[in-house]
Structure 1
Amino acid sequence: MPALVLLGAQWGDEGKGKATDLLGGSVDYVVRYQGGNNAGHTVVVGDQKYALHLLPSGILSPGCTPVIGNGVVVDPSVLLSELSGLNERGVDTSKLLISGNAHIITPYNVTVDKVTERFLGKRKIGTTGRGIGPTYADKINRVGIRVQDLYDESILTQKVEAALDVKNQMLTKLYNRRAIAVEQVVEELLGYADKLAPYVCDTVLVLNQALEQDKVVLFEGGQGTLLDIDHGTYPFVTSSNPTAGGACTGAGVGPTKISRVIGILKAYTTRVGAGPFPTELFDEDGEALRRIGGERGVTTGRDRRCGWFDAVIARYATRVNGLTDFFLTKLDVLTGWEQIPVCVAYEIDGKRVEELPYSQTDFHHAKPVYEMLPGWSEDISKAKSFSDLPKNAQSYVKALEEMSGAPISAIGVGPGRDETIEINSFL
């Protein structure tokens, strides 16, 4: 089967963009199946760095067709701006396909996101404020605007009126904000129709026909497993399903078509936004990981919270996604530590727990149980094979593989496209 899913196995920011880009030259389609411009990927090609927020990473591979699936929420202004920026840098974006069933992030979704988060104060979730959650809420409440609605002014107007009937009540009476005019929103959204038209199609049909023709399709998740709305650290999660099951619903492809599920793991752990994080560091080690790893959110610009590798989370990701492989990134960042702690279990109320607790209360109180592994000081950025790594780095990788429950098939030893050790082919 030629369908693969590639997703984050932690809290996002694991390096999925690099992994997708490496596979991009060998696959025919790269599909974003959930999330919106709250996800950020950095891809380094030669001396060029590309920050992608909404577009699939495959857009940088000339022979690949990038697809925005029905499970994605699309901010048209952000998308067009991102396309324009790539075109100015000589990247061909003409092959992009957008599902007509993908939902549109409207101006009022962004407004609601920002005022709601501000209203929550200390209880805020830590959203990006880009309207992602409110757009998914509209989708579930069946008052959402879809890409295809841009091409029927009557339907679009009716849907915007229905959505604003409730939202304007909330904005004016609860948040003391001005009401949003229906006509203004409709006019803005219609202004995107012609610009998006060349890309819009029935992506479900395209992808299924491609798989029938033995084309290779890569499904690219945004965020990470622990940010999944169902399987993450709720409520400090995103509004969609980055886990492997989300690829089926978010792209319209059946689970029997998927042959491999690749989890991206950072050699340590990071997260952006609020929520529990058992291995988080507040000392010099945490600051060093942040500085050396360049841990700043691609989309948010916020410093990422940093901590040691958490094997409990990795095992959980293997289980809920059915992972067949891991791609371990940023191993080079750990160079220089004499000893490297790895969280192998949690202590909760005096008891050792080796699997992720299902209770939110227990997870908030989880304390990491560490095992110390010997570090290395040699530069590993030029390593081309596993045997090129220092013995202690090899042992570290093997230990993480054993603890995580799936083989590590590739290792990132630097940010560049060519700074990767491939142990087993993903294709």
Structure 2
Amino acid sequence: MPAVLITGAQWGDEGKGRATDLLGSRVDYVVKFNGGNNAGHTVVVGEEKYALHLLPSGILTPGVVPVIGNGVVVDLGVLQQELDALSSRGVDVSRLRVSANAHVITAYHRTLDKVTERFLGKRQIGTTGRGIGPAYADKINRVGIRIQDIFDESILRQKVEAALEFKNQVLVKIYNRRAIEADEVIADLLSFREMLEPMVCDTGLLLHRAMRDDRTVLFEAGQATMLDIDHGTYPFVTSSNATAGGASTGSGLPPHQLDRIIAVIKAYTTRVGAGPFPTELFDENGEHLAQVGHEYGTTTGRPRRCGWYDAPIARYAARINGVTDFVLTKLDVLSGLDTIPVCVAYDVNGVRHDEMPVNQSDFHHAKPVYEEFPGWSEDISGARRFEELPKNAQDYILALEAMSGSRISAIGVGPEREQVVVRHDLLG
């Protein structure tokens, strides 16, 4: 049975939870392998809408085992809040498994994230202020707190005190903030021990056995390709690997076991936070996309920057991830537009670039080279087969497919669970 990866092909918010939900009944395990509660998935099930920030969206599908892998940084307070909220709505959360090796976001990580971002002023990265970056920094600096440490109070105390010895100097002497008491942090972390005990395990071994037993494992990336710490628009990126390679390091499953790599991409482009965005719109078209597409962050509520589809970015994502299938979302948002421009290349100081420029400064100054396609006025939300879409919508999809480096296998035509046109089996 396959191991399948779903990631975003742009700057996040493409609708990855929707793609995961599309495969839900055919999947046995859903694994979150990177990131934390700095990105969210909105999943609509019937009349119910669920906003998930830390939990894998597979937790909404009966029978699926949701897994938080070792590559995730976990805010335990958020984890408890999400589990309680889902339980109160009748969702069974008892199947959740959490890696003992996952790192923990503490109070001092959140504090440092916020004060550092404010200190940067106009040079801000645009973080969510949830402590993600500082937690990953501690992981790389080998001074992080892991889930397993909560079960050994002596080790936990040693690690927290060692971390605060330096961080309090920074908080007090540089940022003029009060020092954080080690006892407060330790007491907070220990308060989650009872909640964690039944769900913590060796998730790498769990997934290895699942593959051995011919189970289908789905890997669900937080964030997206253009926010990847190595392959994104650095430094305006997240602090983890949201691309296909991250699925292996963030879960313990070897890379050769990934069979299908699905990249989710909007029929236009959005971005939250700072950083270059060649096709960004500042006119009524951008406002139209934002309003019709309800472009506000699931986790932060921040308005998303909107722009036209960027084919070089799609090709880049296809190449970096080894994409086998694209899922195109929010095609319905484009209904009613007379013409739909698509970025097919960039102009950088008079030089045409058909692919992503290698230099960040070139990408920052890139101007989109557009090709225009005729729009459509029909309501496409009822379409379930490709042939039921208006001819101009079909032509738009086929053009994007030819430009983007892989086949477009599914198309979202509305916000509801069933409003999807499937062209190819995502698992076949």
Query: TM-score category by the smaller chain?
Result: over 0.9
2:95 paired residue number:
95
- 1:211-253: per-residue Cα shift (whole Å, max 9, x none)? 0111000000011100000000000000000000000000001
Structure 1 residue 198: Cα displacement: 1.1
Is there any run of 5+ residues in structure 1 with no aligned partner, and where?
none
**Are 1:109 and 2:105 matched, yes or no?**
no
Secondary structure in 2 matching 1:94: coil
Secondary structure in 2 matching 1:7: strand
- 1:92-146: per-residue Cα shift (whole Å, max 9, x none)? 1000000000000000000000000000000000000000000000000000000
2:251 paired residue number:
251
1:195 paired residue number:
195
Query: 1: CA distance between counterparts of 2:301 and 2:81?
Result: 18
Structure 1 residue 320: Cα displacement: 0.4
Secondary structure in 1 matching 2:340: strand
1:339 paired residue number:
339
1:209 paired residue number:
209
Query: 1: CA distance between counterparts of 2:247 and 2:17?
Result: 17
- Which is further off, 194-203 or 269-278? 194-203
Structure 1 residue 22: Cα displacement: 1.2
Query: 2: CA distance between counterparts of 1:329 and 1:254?
Result: 30
Structure 1 residue 50: Cα displacement: 0.4
- 1:286-330: per-residue Cα shift (whole Å, max 9, x none)? 000000000000001000000000001000000000000000000
Q: Which residues of 2 match residues 160-179 of structure 1 at below 5 A?
A: 160-179=160-179
- The letter for the 1-side match of 2:312 is V
- 1:383-426: per-residue Cα shift (whole Å, max 9, x none)? 01000000000000000000001000000000111000111111
Structure 1 residue 259: Cα displacement: 0.5
- 1:27-55: per-residue Cα shift (whole Å, max 9, x none)? 00000000000010000011110000000
- 1:79-101: per-residue Cα shift (whole Å, max 9, x none)? 00000000011111000000000
**Are 1:414 and 2:421 matched, yes or no?**
no
Query: 1: CA distance between counterparts of 2:354 and 2:197?
Result: 51
Structure 1 residue 63: Cα displacement: 1.5
- 1:253-295: per-residue Cα shift (whole Å, max 9, x none)? 1011110100001000000000000000000000000000000
**Are 1:317 and 2:317 matched, yes or no?**
yes
Structure 1 residue runs of 4 or more that deviate by more than 4 Å after TM superposition = none
Secondary structure in 2 matching 1:176: coil
Secondary structure in 2 matching 1:369: strand
Query: 2: CA distance between counterparts of 1:348 and 1:130?
Result: 36
Query: 2: CA distance between counterparts of 1:128 and 1:199?
Result: 27
2:68 paired residue number:
68
Give the TM-score of the pair, scaled to structure 2: 0.99
- The letter for the 2-side match of 1:245 is G
**Are 1:294 and 2:269 matched, yes or no?**
no
- The letter for the 2-side match of 1:321 is N
Structure 1 residue 8: Cα displacement: 0.2
Secondary structure in 1 matching 2:198: helix
Secondary structure in 2 matching 1:242: coil
- 1:187-223: per-residue Cα shift (whole Å, max 9, x none)? 1100011111111111000001100111000000011
Q: Which residues of 2 match residues 215-294 of structure 1 at below 5 A?
A: 215-294=215-294
The alignment covers a number of residue pairs equal to 427
- The letter for the 2-side match of 1:110 is R
1:16 paired residue number:
16
Secondary structure in 2 matching 1:411: strand
1:369 paired residue number:
369
**Are 1:395 and 2:406 matched, yes or no?**
no
Give the TM-score of the pair, scaled to structure 1: 1.00
Root-mean-square deviation (Å) = 0.5
- Determine what percentage of the aligned residue pairs are the same residue: 68
Query: 1: CA distance between counterparts of 2:23 and 2:312?
Result: 28
- The letter for the 1-side match of 2:380 is I
Secondary structure in 1 matching 2:394: helix
**Are 1:77 and 2:106 matched, yes or no?**
no
